[in-house]
Amino acid sequence: MTKPDISEWIVKAEGDYATALRENRVRGTPNYDAVCFHAQQCGEKYLKALLQKHQIAFAKTHDLAVLLDACLRPYPLLETWRNQLEMLSQYAVLFRYPGESAAQGDAKAAVDAMKSLRKEIRVILRLGK
**Full pLDDT tens readout for the chain, 129 residues:** 456 789 999 999 999 999 999 999 999 999 999 999 999 999 999 999 999 999 999 888 899 999 999 999 999 999 999 999 999 998 888 788 888 889 999 999 999 999 999 999 999 999 976
Residue 1 included in any domain: no
CATH of the domain at 74: 1.20.120.330
Long-range contacts of 73-82 (CB under 8 A, 24+ apart): 74/50, 75/50, 75/124, 78/120, 81/117, 81/120
Say if 129 falls within a structural domain: no
Question: Could you give the number of structural domains in the chain?
Answer: 1
| Residue range of the domain that includes 47 | 6-124
Query: Rounded to two decimals, what is the model's pTM?
Result: 0.92
